[in-house]
Structure 1
């Protein structure tokens, strides 16, 4: 909701200040399609050239996430903590063998099935199961589990943030494309002078 309010406020303030200072909106309306074609068209083309298909798809799906709001609610975090508590309690009270059926097939697990919102996040479920699986292997170095978790999280964050990075690169390039469009406008203006 705030995003929509921000967009409306942005256009109202920019064009309102232009009108208040004596600007002619007709001139902007006449030039807008050409300018948008030069700037946004070149920006979209550069975005397509510079990014892979998964990043492009991730960026497009990310626009919906911006307006949808946060994915996780406070109750979801409570569910996640409750799930982890039940899994560790099962491991401590009934042993590693009792936990194995839950982490090998979480879709059929009685513990995991109690938390459907957590089950929808495949990365979270896989991360929990992989980490518990490593813990049950009685590794000699206790830091191996921590290192593996950090590596997996870094990889996930790198992949998840790739669309945002691509969009940031596009945003960084748009002022330069705007200058190109402005120079083209100056060339057209100079050519029209008799």
Structure 2
């Protein structure tokens, strides 16, 4: 008579874990298809929180300021190069608006999403220099139906701009140079 083998409890654990992972993956895939902006928003919020915590550690331990790097002047083609720098946007030129430098959030621009009024940051220039700035204003405006008129009066010597993850909002961070 053939002998029946009993499954050992420890053999069921890997199968249960595999099933949970498969079901979870399917659920996330379905959510990504139905509501991609929610997935993008959750990803962005998590990334910004992690970057902010890492920046605070670097600041405390190494006295290293959060920083952004300025690149070239131009428009959409220069912005879309996605080289980790902020592009001086010629389309934002207007009286009463400081020079606006922009970067896509997924190309290094999201660094500014964690910055708040009063924070000190370093702005690196293409020539290798670095200047300390203070965040003097943060203005969030809608991507659609907005114009440079919404930026008139933005405080600062320059502004950095990026978009929020999963939202129809842009953030403009006004920066004023700190005297050495």
TM-score range, shorter chain: under 0.3
Rg comparison, structure with higher value: 1
- TM-score normalised to structure 2 length: 0.27
Whose helix proportion is higher, 1 or 2? 1
- TM-score normalised to structure 1 length: 0.26
Whose strand proportion is higher, 1 or 2? 2
